[in-house]
Amino acid sequence: MIGIQNLTKTYKTKHGTVKGVDEVSLTIKRGEIYGIVGYSGAGKSSLLRCINLLERPTSGTITVDGTDLTSLKGEELRLARLKIGMIFQHFYLISQKTVFENIAFSLKAANYPKGQIKERVEELLATVGLAEKRDVYPAQLSGGQKQRVGIARALANNPKVLLCDEATSALDPTTTKSILNLLKKINKELNITIVLITHEMNVVKEICHRMAIMQEGRVIEEGSVYDLFASPRAELTKEFIESVVSFDVPEAILKNCEGPIIKVTFKGKVAGEGVISDMLQQCNVKGNFLHGSIEYIQELPLGIFIMELKGQKDEVKRALQYIEDRAAQVEVLRDGR
Ligand SMILES: Nc1ncnc2c1ncn2[C@@H]1O[C@H](COP(=O)(O)OP(=O)(O)OP(=O)(O)O)[C@@H](O)[C@H]1O
């Protein structure tokens, strides 16, 4: 659906040239929700803004729904952009216009048939659950309601892609959840491909199918959210994941552990507790649970347990093998003393 090839965006500043995006290539599939994660300055906004050519790439190409946007100009580009809606952290609603007028505005700007505007706005208000706020002004809305107007406006011209620029960063956790649920609904029911940028890993965990981690303008790791949560490779990916799923064991506890400390990860349907208790029965080892949880990512369980194994060396080895043979990933975090 979206092809990004060797995209570079540089900015000229008083102090020289700054690279916002550095040789990024990504493919985003039709119908998926794709998250781009990174700290401030990583290049997320620059990349997102290049997708609809709000920023013109310095080099590289952007293809959306089969059209190379970078080759278009003027009217052709304007028409191609109608396929791409965008929402923002600070909503950017027109304060002098009512909710109805804010949404109607994007239809008028796209030359939508005049006689059908009222019906279309009402349909959009129903989609975002805001029918009763039709005639109020933005100042009378909560942050979540403002974002719902932003979403209705972005969907007005039936886009195929929705770009979300930190869309929930200004919202409290409960409102964030309701907006994420709305985005999920839009993705599923309208089959709109969603690309979102965020520094909040819980947003990605909640709704994204795949994700990319950015640092200094580059994509350093990419893949399905589930796989990256199960086996992150880059240090930065681990850091982001630990911001929502932390397995830190206090040093005071570790100090008292003599046996090896292992991390066991169970992917998919086997959540894992059964395998560990069977292992403890089958092998002559004792297990001391230090940490653990079962996370649900895209409704699939991911079980992660940290434990100390106590026993003779070869029995410990047999225990590790026992777990590994049952589709788990075992990592020895610290050897026994
Ligand atoms: N218009 C601009 N002029 C000059 N430099 C820019 C411009 N826009 C972005 N940059 C620089 O490009 C780099 C990437 O910025 P970008 O805003 O894309 O990152 P980001 O990950 O979205 O961060 P944030 O979440 O803080 O917006 C930064 O070094 C930034 O200073």
CATH 3.30.70.260 residue window(s) in the chain? 251-334
Pocket test of ligand 1: the residue of 7, 9, 11, 12 to mutate, having most ligand atoms within 8 Å of its CB, is 11
pLDDT tens string 265-289: 888 766 556 788 888 888 899 999 9
- Ligand 1 pocket test target in 21, 45, 48 with most atoms within 8 Å of CB: 45
Answer yes or no: pTM beyond 0.95.
no
Phi-psi domain of 241 (left: phi exceeds 0; alpha: psi -120 through 50; beta: other): alpha
Question: Which residue positions in the chain have pLDDT lower than 50?
Answer: none
Q: Decide the pairing of beta strands 33-37 and 193-198.
A: parallel
* The pair of three-digit structure tokens given for residue 65, joined into one six-digit string: 């729904």
User: Can you read off the two tokens belonging to residue 290?
Assistant: 């230090």
The pLDDT value recorded for residue 17 is 94
pLDDT at 270: 61
Q: What pLDDT score was predicted for residue 337?
A: 75
Whether the CB-CB separation of 58 and 135 falls below 8 Å is answered with no
Backbone angles phi, psi at 235, to 5 degrees: -55, -40
Task: Please give the CATH architecture assigned to the domain spanning 251-334.
Answer: 2-Layer Sandwich (3.30)
pLDDT of residue 255: 84
- Which of 21, 44, 169 best tests ligand 1's pocket when mutated (most atoms within 8 Å of CB)? 44
Give this complex's ipTM.
0.96
The predicted pLDDT at position 90 comes to 92
Question: What tens digit of pLDDT does each residue of 283-323 get?
Answer: 899 999 999 888 888 888 888 889 999 999 899 899 989 88
pLDDT of amino acid 252: 85
Pocket of ligand 1 (CB under 6 A): 11, 13, 18, 20, 38, 40-46
**Per-residue confidence (pLDDT) for residue 327, from 0 to 100:** 65
Task: Give the CA count within 13 Å in the CB-facing half-sphere of 154.
Answer: 27
- CATH 3.30.365.10 for the 2-242 domain, yes or no: no
In the chain, CATH 3.40.50.300 sits at 2-242
Contact 174, 97 (CB under 8 A): no
Distance 44 CA to ligand 1 centre (A): 8
Q: Whose CA is nearest to atom 11 of ligand 1?
A: 20
pLDDT at 119: 96
